[in-house]
Amino acid sequence: MKVAIIGTGYVGLVTGTCLAESGNDVTCVDNNPNKVALLHGGGIPIYEPGLAELVARNARRAARVHDRPGRRGPGRAARVHRRRHPQSDAGDADLTAVFAVADAIGAALRDAPPGPPGARVVVTKSTVPVGTNAQVAERLAAAGAPHVDVASNPEFLKEGAAIEDFMRPDRVVVGTRRPEVSEVLRELYAPFLRTERPFLVMSPESAEMTKYAANAMLATKISFINEMANLCDRLGADINDVRKGIGHDQRIGFPFLFPGPGYGGSCFPKDVEAIIAMGRRTALPLKLMQAVDAVNDAQKQVLFTKIQQHFGAALAGRTLALWGLAFKPRTDDIREAPALALIDALLGAGVRVRVHDPEAMANVRALYGDTLYYADRPYGALEGADALVVVTEWPEFRNPDFEVMKRLLTGRVVFDGRNVYEPRPMEALGFTYYGIGRGGRK
């Protein structure tokens, strides 16, 4: 099948590469000349485990990048178009770029022969407000391409595991009003559904809402466990024990019940804000979602509060080491990352900050420049630091040499924002230890 992917970010590049891997003729399109040049040169603009190897293997199909969606070439004849919209800053999603792409596709396909139903399909892959699918169809018709079908196909990819999620999806959700369109997408996804995972067909509005509802539920679980962790700190309970006690209840389960410094990334923050905005537009206050958002904002200050309480008035002038800058392991994405909120608070308090992250250093340097010290290895960040703060639970941070840590740290204090270490062993090693919800123990 011929497929055009418009946008080569996390979703676009992973989608295009995986579809090429399954034998489709894929053309990727992006209006960012830096991305175009990088892809033509054999590089990729993001870090995603395994993606560089897949792109290289499918270079003739997946890395044929053009500079605009209306350009003549393979994209003009593509049977299925996918497009992404930029991350909204807050509240209502900004669909300006989405509609611009829709207009360009409509103009490009204005003179194309109509063909049978499902011959040409524009697929919205990104998270867009409910009703966007219908608006795109209207714009395509206004641009002279009423014969082009529009479908919704929300993505459920986790950064750091996106290839696995695409190749072995839990489910595929398709929103369309025409069975011919759903059959086109069923054929496209057939290689990835051989283990009998469900292919769910529904209305475009239901498909659009499904993505928001899924992210809202996952964000709710995170904010819930963070509130329980903070309560455990006050009451002397250990959230790790509580998590086990409730996680074995099959109605609840363990996924997303890990306390920490708040959620970040490109999905949960904007999608929670967007669903609140959708409720506001329909005069339905979504009080639970508002609380989830507020809890997460407050949680991003929990580590700084613990640091402030430990050092008191002597905090200014201290040096702190941070391990982990990306919003989660196995990605270089720092959008809405809790580490950024902590860095801002520490710098505002007059603290010198030394940082290390396996993949996100360049992105952080682009924001902070020389205001931080960037260590190319974890132990390098510890040299002369008064304390270590673990913000992102990269696997390489889980089993460090604690004796080396003790020698390098001026102060033997660890603020464990992800509960990767156990309090009592850390205390036995001579560290002053602070976790999240570990009963208020040092």
**Is 94 annotated to bind ligand?**
no
> In terms of Cα–Cα distance, which of 86, 98, 69 is closest to 4?
69
**Is 9 annotated to bind ligand?**
no
**Is 244 annotated to bind ligand?**
no
**Is 73 annotated to bind ligand?**
no
Q: Is 28 a catalytic residue?
A: no
**Is 2 annotated to bind ligand?**
no
- Measure Cα distances from 76 to 42, 70, 79, 121, 223 in Å: 24, 7, 9, 12, 45
Cβ–Cβ under 8 Å, residues 155 and 126 = yes
Cβ–Cβ under 8 Å, residues 269 and 263 = yes
Close Cβ partners of 235 (under 8 Å, ≥ 6 residues apart): 439
Hey, is 130 helix, strand or coil? coil
DSSP annotation of 5 reads E
Q: Which of 18, 28, 232, 267 is catalytic?
A: 267
> In terms of Cα–Cα distance, which of 92, 68, 65 is closest to 8?
65
**Is 211 annotated to bind ligand?**
yes
> In terms of Cα–Cα distance, which of 325, 390, 384, 383 is closest to 359?
325
DSSP annotation of 222 reads H
**Is 257 annotated to bind ligand?**
yes
What type of residue sits at position 61?
R
Residue 5, CA atoms < 13 Å, CB-side half-sphere: 27
**Is 175 annotated to bind ligand?**
no
DSSP annotation of 431 reads -
What's the residue count for the chain? 442
Strand spans (E) along 45-120:
65-66, 80-83
**Is 178 annotated to bind ligand?**
no
The residue behind tokens 């997946």 is: 62
Tell me the C-alpha distance between 417 and 314, whole Å: 22
**Is 158 annotated to bind ligand?**
yes
**Is 260 annotated to bind ligand?**
yes
Tell me the C-alpha distance between 284 and 176, whole Å: 27
Instruction: Tell me the H-state helices in 72-203.
Output: 96-108, 132-142, 162-167, 179-189
Hey, is 433 helix, strand or coil? strand
Known binding-site residues for substrate equal 156-159, 211, 256-260, 264, 328
Residues with catalytic annotation?
267
Known binding-site residues equal 30, 35, 127, 156-159, 211, 256-260, 264, 270, 328, 335
Known binding-site residues for NAD(+) equal 30, 35, 127, 159, 270, 335
